[in-house]
Amino acid sequence: MELYHLKTFLSVAETGNLTKAAQQLFTSQPAISAHIKAIEEELGIALFSRNAKGMILTKEGAMLKDEASKVLESFGCFIQKARQVKKQVTGEARIAVNSDPEFLRLHDLFKSMKSSCPDLKFNVTKSTSGEILDDIKAGKIDGGFAYGKNPHPEVKVMELQTSSVVIVGPFSLSGELDKASWQELACMPWILQSIYCPFNTILKEIFEKQGLKPLKVAISDDEDTMLTLSSAGIGLTLMEETRARKSAKSCEVAIWNKETFGIPLLFAYQRSRQSDPLIQAMLENLERIWNRSGDNEVYIQTDNKNYSGTES
């Protein structure tokens, strides 16, 4: 049995779905099925029961899940210790992004790290802030960018900056947006975000304070999709201000300029890996690129009010 078999077992156990596990592990569903079959044949027990709802852990599978987690955690500690002994950063850095790579200065980070860690390779995925923080907690990635608050004690964050978020809509609505009140905005069609996106929290709190509810016509967490839908006339949405201004300049969208909303942009990593040379190298380069320190307070500004909480 190989370590990748255990990773597959845990991923299927957590998602309860072969397709979702395949997406998490960047492989195919047949490969996931083959891994599970190989483990079950080697152990001589059934780890899952299959039904219409997906993959359900058997009693035996549930008993072995924690042991598999301990094995992978121990292996991670072994790799971390080896890096400390070697005092060189090698291998692969698994990083997740939640926004435009240019805005996140990803090129600067990689270029800076390659100069000091020439043997390091990068594996980059795109996801939502909430899912990125969950994946860091679970040890599925080494680090990632996220907006908003960090709910996990097991995850530590560096605040890079307070980003501005604005309301945008189809360029054809420029005149209406300029004059629109909150009541009028609520009656317009909206492209909302899922619960995994902190922008959803901002918008929900704003409208609830006004005693209003936005007219939902679509849901998306992908910035490119939201921009495409909004510019096509589908509805209003929230967007990071830098990108919104660029899109407005090219007449793709119009911006409601009456208010902006602040939200912290974070880089997150597993607290237990603070001394890992890979994490240290990423933090050092991020501090230099963003001119920030690692011990910042996290602030969320909503409707011109600041909500603060020390990073955890």
- Domain spans of the chain? 3-84, 88-154+266-298, 163-263
Per residue in 121-161, pLDDT (tens digit) is 999 999 999 999 999 998 899 999 999 999 999 999 999 99
Identify the CA nearest to 163 among candidates 219, 239, 110: 239
Task: Give just the sign of the alpha carbon dihedral 175, 180, 185, 188.
Answer: negative
Q: How far is CA 41 from CA 46, 217, 269, in A?
A: 8, 48, 36
Question: For 159-180, what is each residue's pLDDT tens digit?
Answer: 999 999 999 999 999 889 989 9
Q: Do domains 88-154+266-298 and 163-263 have the same CATH topology?
A: yes
What residue ranges in 247-295 does DSSP mark as E strands?
A: 253-270
Fold observed for domain 88-154+266-298? D-Maltodextrin-Binding Protein; domain 2 (3.40.190)
H or E segment to which residue 226 belongs: helix 223-231
pTM of the model: 0.68
Tens digits of per-residue pLDDT, 178-217? 899 999 999 999 999 988 899 999 999 999 999 999 999 9
CA 27, chain centre distance (Å): 20
CB 251 within 8 A of CB 177: no
Domain over 163-263 is classified CATH 3.40.190.10: yes
Mean pLDDT of the chain: 86
Q: Would you place residue 114 in the very low, low, confident or very high pLDDT band (cuts 50, 70, 90)?
A: confident
Exposed, middle or buried by CB within 10 Å (0-12, 13-18, 19+), for 126? middle
Q: What architecture does CATH give domain 3-84? A: Orthogonal Bundle (1.10)
Q: Whole-angstrom Cα distance, residue 114 to residue 108?
A: 10
Q: How far apart are CA 171 and CA 296, in angstroms?
A: 38
In this structure, the dihedral spanned by the alpha carbons of residues 11, 17, 20 and 25, taken in order and rounded to 10 degrees, is 30
| Beta strand pairing call for 120-126 and 189-192 | unpaired
Q: What is the pLDDT of residue 265?
A: 96
Q: Give residue 297's pLDDT.
A: 37
